[in-house]
Amino acid sequence: MTGSGAGIGAATARRLAADGMTVAVHSRTSRAAGTALAGELGGTYFQADLADDAAAGALVPRVLAEYGRLDVLVNNAGISWPVPHADLAALTADDWRRLLDVNLIAPWLLCTAAAPALRESGGCIVNVTSHAGVRPKGSSIAYAASKAALNHVTRLLAAALGPEIRVNAVAPGLVDTPLTADWTDAQQLWQTSSPMRRAAQPSDVADLISALIRNSYVTGEVVLLDGGLNLR
């Protein structure tokens, strides 16, 4: 799974290992953390910058060379930084390209590379998207657009690749990670306005990803995991 050095990715890697899977751990920069996690879980660590098309396209072949098969692809890696939605000039064309490269094009390249092996194993894909791809929210308009596009790609791939390969997405709202620790406005929003009165924990996301992997019938779904904030 991509982006598994910390936060949601590390929690999901641990959950899938507890489910009996051998997990290929990936990160862009957190080599020490990724190597330690892979050692803890009995897997292998792979480093790759997914903004680089060649590196993204080569990641699945590297995993297949190590393990010989692939049953699940979890596209979790993503990037984000805050840009006020009304400040249009603050998002440059290069910003858009950077966000789309990592959040949309890299998952596409990974799905393309993984499809033959997943077809052979009867496997599945889970894309980690965002509440911001469903509602007009998020750290920036470009980020929200990249996740909305990945949600739609999820549905298109499910229609194109079934019945051999199932494709679903998990769309979390705010998740308590080191990245979001100082997002005080978002924390306040979830604590006061969501029915669950809290942000998600990484383990909440990991549990849902695990459930989608284990269910052999669900495909083409984008499952919101926002504590019910979408109801407000």
Which entry of 45, 67, 143, 217 is annotated as an active-site residue? 143
Strands of the chain (E only): list them.
24-27, 44-47, 72-75, 124-128, 166-172, 222-225
**Residue 143 known to be catalytic:** yes
Sign of CA dihedral 54, 58, 147, 9: negative
**Sign of torsion over alpha carbons 65, 66, 70, 72:** negative
Rounded to whole angstroms, the Cα distance separating 79 from 113 reads 21
150, 76 contact by CB (below 8 A): no
Cβ-proximal residues to 87 (8 Å cutoff; 6+ apart), any chain: none
For residue 221, what are the β-bridge partners? none
Active-site residue list: 143
